[in-house]
Structure 1
């Protein structure tokens, strides 16, 4: 995911948690906040140590970043998102994680239009 699409600063995370809304399913919690300034959507990812050791957490982060990176053009602009991974996400493969993320993001009304479920080999 490109640097411009990342939510990194503590104050930005705090603002999304305090002023945003949340939607959840079994694997993810999604906080959303609509900014007033111009700019692209930004995504932050949070995974607790309770989910697993560093190797497991980093694998989940890589998969989530890759899935969201492919959807960035379909996410409403000026939106800050924070994805929090829950324990059941550890056992998911790529397709299941993609489906779960699509579900929680659809419930939060994040998409301008729904992303299609392309196969990995079809992506360019």
Structure 2
């Protein structure tokens, strides 16, 4: 299953808004910016994976894992938010389940998971 287009943050202005106005939370693997958008019907995610983390194949795999983790957690995530996820170096050695666990941890810190 793939992530629908309307679930993605693509525009630079949307990224910048999340960086400026949103709240950020981090652990060793991820930085997550969350920006509340009350008019939104479902969450959107934007991904940032630096070239320092590896070649294109590695970066795309990381992005696929993050998207998949979000799809699996879809019901637990609050809908009226934009999330910007920035991957850090340790992610390169992680599998899907570890990435999901780490993302869940950061989202719990940011208090955006439904109780």
Name the TM-score, length of structure 2 as normaliser.
Answer: 0.93
* 1:86 equivalent in structure 2: 88
* 1:111 equivalent in structure 2: 113
* 1:101 equivalent in structure 2: 103
TM-superposed CA distance for 1:69, in Å, is 1.2
Gaps of 5+ in 1: 114-124
Name the TM-score, length of structure 1 as normaliser.
Answer: 0.86
**Residues in 1 aligned to 2:96 and 2:43: alpha-carbon distance in whole angstroms:** 23
**Residues in 2 aligned to 1:91 and 1:98: alpha-carbon distance in whole angstroms:** 13
Q: Which has the larger radius of gyration?
A: 1
TM-superposed CA distance for 1:77, in Å, is 1.7
**Residues in 2 aligned to 1:26 and 1:38: alpha-carbon distance in whole angstroms:** 30
Gaps of 5+ in 2: none
**Once superposed, which parts of structure 1, at least 4 consecutive aligned residues long, lie more than 4 Å away?**
none
TM-superposed CA distance for 1:73, in Å, is 2.4
**Residues in 2 aligned to 1:2 and 1:70: alpha-carbon distance in whole angstroms:** 14
